Structure 1
Amino acid sequence: MCGIAGLVVAPGQAAPSAELGRRMNAVIHHRGPDDEGLHSDDRALLGMRRLSIIDVEGGHQPLYGAERQVCLVFNGEIYNFRELRQGLEKDGHVFATHSDTEVILQAYLRDGVEAFAKLDGMFGIAIWDRRTQELILARDRFGEKPLYYAVDAQRLLFGSELKSLLQSADCPRAVDSDALRAYLAYGYVPAPGSIFQGVRKLPPAHYLRYRDGQVSLHRYWRPSLAHKTALSEAEAGERLEELLDRAVASRLVSDVPFGAFLSGGLDSSTVVALMARHLAQPVKTFTIGFKEAAYSELDDARRVASHLGTEHHELVVEPDAVSLLEKLVWHFDEPFADSSAVPTFLVSELAGKHVKMVLTGDGGDELFGGYDRYLRLMKLERLGSLRKPVAGLLTAAGAMLPNPYGERLARVGERLRLPFQERYLSGVAVMRADIAQRLRAQAGGSAHFDLPALHEAGSDLGAGDSALDRAVAIDLQSYLPDDILVKLDRMAMAASLEGRSPFLQPDLAEFALSLPESYRVRGGRGKHLLREVAAKWLPPRAISKPKQGFAIPLAQWLRGPLRDLAADTFASRPFRERGLIDAQAATTLLDEHVSGRVDRSEALWQTLCLELWAQRFLNATAPRER
């Protein structure tokens, strides 16, 4: 687990400055405090920071091959590197280290870009091939590891985090209005765009070629929802158990201490149970909770930890919300408003005091139909031709009922009138369209969430007519890589901790997507088959526990410790003059929320995160950690 950064200049341009490479490395020190490296020649800089997990002594990067004509830096882990190495050694390749990095290099020397499809892992890879004078960038299948790039006629900049690119004066810094609109709707900026015009994210399961100043993108893998297994439910359960066990075992490869996040919910508990089957010593598990009981899962986590005999670590936190928010803004690089990042960061800090790597349950909801919004969507879709009449009734009822009930009914009525993709995306959105319009209209922007980047998401995954599959396809292409996995990567890396997601092992993921709808959702609950299998290992409460999510007492914070910060921010001259958000509208929302008449916490949190991001990343020529 590391961070990478660098640039390659077009033919005829001045050689890149090694000093720039050192600055790009330094600003992501948190991603790799154990080691660093830098390659510099007349056209290329390739830098890396390393968090040593595999081959601690011998895994230094950059790594060279083909008589130093090929240079590679890599962020991530390759779980099948030992199997790949055996095949390469049979073909005559000689290894100087025991690292997974060298396996990638040797596989590239043998197979070229075809090597990426053979990797089971999470990765951002940069290869400078002097033989062909081209730069290759590659990203893992689901987007577990990030990779930004910016290209113009003179150069291509790249990095694991946007702040590395911003060390160059040539990195674009104009805010992208479409990205801002997307952020207000969803709380994150969807790939392949970024908050800045001219800066892009390499999409998951893609590689990029940069040669003679020209860029081309290529997809090397695509998940599919088209094929459904013909296995009986009992046979599918046996196959799922086998794949789950294999996926967790493969993610246990490590030369340093490791553990697991444990919430007491189904996904994380299943991962911990399977870890316990493979380890001679107790699994180290980590949980945090808040003093507000509604936002704490400590009891559920304790129950599972006791059942599985783990070495359990927990902490009830009363965080300094102001300083914590500033830390989050720095580590996300872009505006990011998923408030569950707060507990993710806090549990990462706790785990980082004991281990260097953890396993998580991320991906389970998307693969097995676990989100409540999937269930709500399926109910709406069953209305069929009755949708429009029902929409009219709900809108009329909403106008007569007091808030918040009236608002809620009116929103459901609005959703029923929309085409399918907008109908689903409106349920994903964290800010209502009318609230976004209030915040943006007077600032000269539009907040309509008709976003082509998300409308195209999942359209090529063969979802067919199934509402569940169509929603899952969208989430696999956007919500999972751009929210869930961004949150895990940035918050774990902020604590110099590696997070691994066994549910995203390719064979397991492809099998889960092949399960018929009835194997995933049954009796008004998601994850049916996963629950049946996990019941062999877990206490009944972990199987039946309603989904809680990693939430924080956001509404209380914005009426308490964050209230003054929000008020001062919205009243400030820079906020007004920046013009990203209408200052009066933001102040009015805060007044409404503080009065207790209505909950505006999500919109206020998004607005606050946006302005604090702007202060750090728009006001500074080259952002630095405070």
Structure 2
Amino acid sequence: MCGIIGLVVAPGQQPPDAGVGRAMNDAIRHRGPDDEGYYRDARVLLGMRRLAIIDIAGGHQPMSADGGRIQLVFNGEIYNYRELRAELQALGREFHSASDSEVVAQAFAEWGERCFARLDGMFALAVWDRRTQTLVLARDRFGEKPLFYAHDDARLLFASELKALIEVPGLRRELDPAALRSYVRYGYVPTPASIFASVRKLPPGCYLRCSDGRIAVERYYTLDFGRRQAIGAADAEQRLAELLDRAVHSRMVADVPFGAFLSGGLDSSTVVALMTRHSSQRVRTYSIGFKEAAYNELSDARRVAEHLGTDHHELVVEPDAVGLLEQLVWYLDEPFADSSAVPTFLVSQLARTQVAMVLTGDAGDETFAGYTRYLRFLALQRLGPLKASVALAARAGASLVGGSFGYRLRGVAERMRMPFPDSYLGSVAMSRPGTVRDLLGAAVRDGYEDPLHALARGGSARHSMLDRIVELDFGSYLPDDILVKVDRMAMANSLEGRVPFLDPAVVEFVVSLPENLRVRHGRGKHILRRVAERWLPADVLAKPKQGFAIPLGQWFRGPLRPLAEDVLASRAFRERGLIDPAAARACLDDHLAGRADRGESLWLVLSLELWARRFLDAAPRA
């Protein structure tokens, strides 16, 4: 696991500055505290920070192939690197280390861009071909590892994190108004945009080729939701059990101590159960909880740990909410309003005291259709023409009930009147359309087309409605929210996180199954529950989904209230023009009075303002 940086200049430009490369690399030191390395010539500069996990002694980068023709910097892990190494050796390629990064370098030298589709793993990488004077960037299938880039007529810059690009003199830091509007709507900035108009994100499953100062982005992988296989339930369960076992086992390869996050829910418990099958020692597991009972799953995690015999570690935290928010803003790079980043950061911090790598249960909801919002949406779709009448009744009920429950009920009524995809995206979004218009400052309020509409149009209307909404989440919510949170919060603590549920063979198999093996009797993850019966007790299988949340509502009436009051009253906030001060104040007043739970909106506003102070107000490098 590493962080990578670099730049390539167009022909005729001044050679890259070594000092700039070091400044970029220093900005992401937390991603790789064990080592650093550079390659530089008249056209290109490549750099990396290394967190040593495999072949600690021999995995120094940049890695080369073909006598130095190929130069590679690589962030991630390749789980089938041993099989690829054997194949490449049979083709006559010689290896000088036991690292997966050398396998990637040799694979590119042998197969070019075709090698990316053969890599089973998580990665973001850059390859410089000295002979053709071509730079290639690539990102894994589902977006586990990040990669930002900026391009103009003179140069192409790239880095694992946005903060490294800011170290480059001359990088423009003007906000992208459309990205800001997306942030207020969803709580994150959807790919390929970034919060800065001059910077883009390379989409998952894509590579970028830069030659003679020109760039082109190509897709090498698309998850196929149109394939259906005829398979019986028993055969499907047996096949899934084998695929999950292989996925977990392959992600346990490491030359350092490792463990797992354990919440006590179905997803993380299944991963840990499979880890125990392949470990000669007790698996180390980590959980955190809050003092508020509704946000504390420690007893659930403890029961699973006892059942599986893990070496379990837990912590009840009463964090400094203000200090954490300011710290997380730096590590998250862009405005990011998913407050579950807080417990993810804290459990990563706990795990890093003992291990350098963990397996997680993330992506189980997307892969196995487990989100409650999927089931609610499908249930509403089944109402057909009755939806309009039910929406009217919900709206009337909201007026009668009032308070926070009435506020939520109005949101349900609003979504029921929307056409697809807004009818679904409303359940993913952090802010309703009306709230977005109210919160945004006048200068950035108008002229917005939701980028997730384009994503929905790119899918197939012939697919089932379940496939269409899962496809939407694989296209944006998973890579831009869930995986951003996992990567940045783990890497903030120099910890590697691996996600077995994103094994391509597992994902492709599950989405090809008949829908009644994925969702049945109003519950998602049907086949996962059936398979997990082999390893887990019944109470884990029956446990309602809780989510990795924090008590935002209470915090904004307690420790976060002074910060919210100070920010909303500050001159910088009022003059910045990104958020309407009166609308933000109304959110706080509604929340404090109990008229509505506006914790998420307030977290969104605070996160944006603290981000702006850190990334906009600080002077750029000369």
TM-score (norm 2): 0.98
Distance 2:53 2:405 in 1: 51
Aligned AA (2:210): Y
Cα contact 2:402–2:595 (8 A) shared by 1: no
Cα contact 2:407–2:596 (8 A) shared by 1: no
2:207 is paired with a residue whose SS is strand
Aligned AA (1:518): N
Distance 1:72 1:463 in 2: 40
Q: Which residue of 1 aligns with 2:563?
A: 565
Distance 2:586 2:405 in 1: 21
1:277 to 1:458, Cα distance in 2 relative to 1, 3 A: farther
Alignment map for 1:432-447 (pairs within 5 Å): 432-440=432-440, 442-446=441-445
Cα contact 1:166–1:621 (8 A) shared by 2: no
Cα contact 2:5–2:159 (8 A) shared by 1: yes
1:474 to 472, 475, 481: 472
Deviations, residues 191-219 of structure 1 (Å, cap 9, x unaligned): 00000002100000000001111110111
Cα contact 1:77–1:121 (8 A) shared by 2: yes
Q: Which residue of 1 aligns with 2:593?
A: 595
Cα contact 1:225–1:463 (8 A) shared by 2: no
- Deviation of 1:384 after TM superposition, in Å, equals 1.4
2:444 is paired with a residue whose SS is coil
1:530 to 1:463, Cα distance in 2 relative to 1, 3 A: farther
Q: Which residue of 1 aligns with 2:355?
A: 355
Distance 1:592 1:481 in 2: 33
Distance 2:540 2:459 in 1: 32
- Deviation of 1:400 after TM superposition, in Å, equals 4.2
Cα contact 2:288–2:314 (8 A) shared by 1: yes
Aligned AA (1:576): R
Distance 1:458 1:516 in 2: 22
Cα contact 2:178–2:448 (8 A) shared by 1: no
Cα contact 1:356–1:498 (8 A) shared by 2: yes
Distance 1:445 1:617 in 2: 19
2:504 to 500, 503, 506: 506
Deviations, residues 166-214 of structure 1 (Å, cap 9, x unaligned): 1012222110111011001110000000000021000000000011111
Alignment map for 1:171-570 (pairs within 5 Å): 171-440=171-440, 442-446=441-445, 450-451=449-450, 453-457=451-455, 459-460=457-458, 462=460, 464-570=462-568
Alignment map for 1:54-203 (pairs within 5 Å): 54-203=54-203
Percent identical pairs in the alignment equals 61
- Deviation of 1:34 after TM superposition, in Å, equals 0.1
Distance 2:506 2:150 in 1: 34
- Deviation of 1:517 after TM superposition, in Å, equals 1.3
1:47 is paired with a residue whose SS is strand
Aligned AA (2:260): A
Q: Which residue of 2 aligns with 1:611?
A: 609
- Deviation of 1:537 after TM superposition, in Å, equals 0.5
Deviations, residues 234-275 of structure 1 (Å, cap 9, x unaligned): 110000000000100110110100000000000000000000
Aligned AA (1:533): V
2:67 is paired with a residue whose SS is coil
Cα contact 1:222–1:461 (8 A) shared by 2: no
Distance 2:353 2:211 in 1: 44
Deviations, residues 134-171 of structure 1 (Å, cap 9, x unaligned): 11000000000000000000000000000011101222
Distance 1:139 1:561 in 2: 40
Aligned AA (1:554): L
Larger deviation, residues 467-476 vs 409-418: 409-418
Deviations, residues 362-382 of structure 1 (Å, cap 9, x unaligned): 111001110000001001110
Cα contact 1:223–1:461 (8 A) shared by 2: no
Cα contact 1:271–1:359 (8 A) shared by 2: yes
- Deviation of 1:59 after TM superposition, in Å, equals 0.3
2:455 is paired with a residue whose SS is coil
Deviations, residues 296-341 of structure 1 (Å, cap 9, x unaligned): 1000000000000000000010101111111110000100010000
Aligned AA (1:29): R
Distance 2:170 2:209 in 1: 20
- Deviation of 1:462 after TM superposition, in Å, equals 4.5
Distance 2:592 2:620 in 1: 36
Q: Which residue of 1 aligns with 2:583?
A: 585
Cα contact 1:415–1:426 (8 A) shared by 2: yes
Larger deviation, residues 391-400 vs 82-91: 391-400
- Structure 1 unaligned regions, length at least 5: none
Q: Which residue of 1 aligns with 2:49?
A: 49
- Deviation of 1:444 after TM superposition, in Å, equals 3.0
Cα contact 1:458–1:477 (8 A) shared by 2: no
Distance 1:449 1:280 in 2: 55
Deviations, residues 453-494 of structure 1 (Å, cap 9, x unaligned): 211225545573422111100000000000000000000000
Cα contact 1:59–1:101 (8 A) shared by 2: yes
Cα contact 1:207–1:217 (8 A) shared by 2: yes
Distance 2:457 2:298 in 1: 40
2:68 is paired with a residue whose SS is coil
Distance 2:548 2:500 in 1: 19
Distance 2:250 2:446 in 1: 44
2:264 is paired with a residue whose SS is coil
Cα contact 1:458–1:476 (8 A) shared by 2: no
Cα contact 1:531–1:543 (8 A) shared by 2: yes
Distance 2:403 2:210 in 1: 54
1:556 is paired with a residue whose SS is helix
Distance 1:194 1:188 in 2: 10
1:358 is paired with a residue whose SS is strand
- Structure 2 unaligned regions, length at least 5: none
- Deviation of 1:596 after TM superposition, in Å, equals 2.7
1:157 is paired with a residue whose SS is strand
Q: Which residue of 1 aligns with 2:13?
A: 13
TM-score (norm 1): 0.97
The CA RMSD over aligned residues, in Å, is 1.4
Aligned AA (2:541): I
1:279 is paired with a residue whose SS is coil
Aligned AA (1:553): P
Distance 1:620 1:14 in 2: 27
